[in-house]
């Protein structure tokens, strides 16, 4: 089974994907590892889209049981059909933004104040992420994700709200069980 978990930055997709993968013997892939090049300054240089898609699809096809964290549906038109289940996470903006600000502080510590470039980039990221729920925002947004969900031809589990990780995991497991158990249609 191939599963994708996505939502706004700070919604918990990476955390849920990592935990699900560890507890269920899945390979975990993170969209950011393919979207961004590994550079001295993080999240500075985007990967060439053709190379990104090639590397991502190779990794995705290497495993029968894989869970992807991140939004990859608009990378290549063939990608959505490669998944068996999509899990969409939504959190109220105030909770999500608190998480992101805390994550930035934990990730970079005092560099957020002493490194002018990092301070500027972090502030720009927070400003970008804060627009996710705005109608009409053209970046990665709730509007875009809802449109993508409507176009999917696979089961979708939407988890809307601030639920503990254990409950999110349980909901994913229940959805997988429901997908696997589909009784034959009655004649």
Q: How confident is the model at residue 186 (pLDDT cuts 50, 70, 90)?
A: very low
Distance linking the first and last C-alpha atoms of the chain: 28
- CA 49 to CA 34: how far, in whole Å? 9
What's the rounded Cα separation, in Å, for the pair 76 and 111?
Answer: 36
- Which of these ranges, 83-87, 167-171, 179-183, has the smallest mean pLDDT? 179-183
| The pLDDT of residue 182 | 65
Confidence of residue 185 (pLDDT cuts 50, 70, 90): very low
What distance in Å separates the CA atoms of residue 21 and residue 29, rounded to the nearest whole number?
Answer: 9
Average pLDDT over residues 101-120: 93
Give mean pLDDT, residues 42-60: 91
Judge if pTM exceeds 0.95: no
H/E stretch holding 17: helix 13-24
CA distance 116 to 154: 44
Tokens 């930055």 locate to 9
């Amino acid at each position: 089974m191939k599963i994708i978990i996505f939502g706004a930055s700070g919604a918990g997709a990476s955390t849920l994907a990592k935990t699900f993968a560890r507890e269920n013997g899945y390979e975990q892939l993170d969209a950011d590892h393919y979207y961004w090049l590994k550079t001295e300054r993080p999240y500075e240089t985007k990967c060439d889209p053709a190379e990104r898609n090639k590397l991502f699809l190779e990794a995705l096809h290497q495993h029968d049981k894989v869970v992807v964290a991140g939004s990859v549906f608009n990378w290549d038109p063939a990608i959505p059909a490669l998944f068996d289940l999509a899990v969409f996470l939504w959190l109220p903006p105030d909770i999500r933004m608190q998480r992101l600000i805390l994550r930035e502080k934990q990730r970079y510590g005092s560099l957020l104040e002493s490194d002018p470039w990092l301070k500027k980039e972090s502030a720009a990221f927070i400003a970008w992420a804060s627009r996710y729920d705005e109608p009409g925002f053209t970046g990665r947004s709730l509007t875009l994700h809802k449109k993508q969900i409507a176009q999917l031809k696979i089961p979708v589990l939407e988890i809307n709200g601030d639920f503990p990780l254990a409950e999110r995991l349980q909901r994913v497991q229940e959805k997988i069980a429901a997908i696997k158990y589909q009784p034959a249609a009655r004649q």
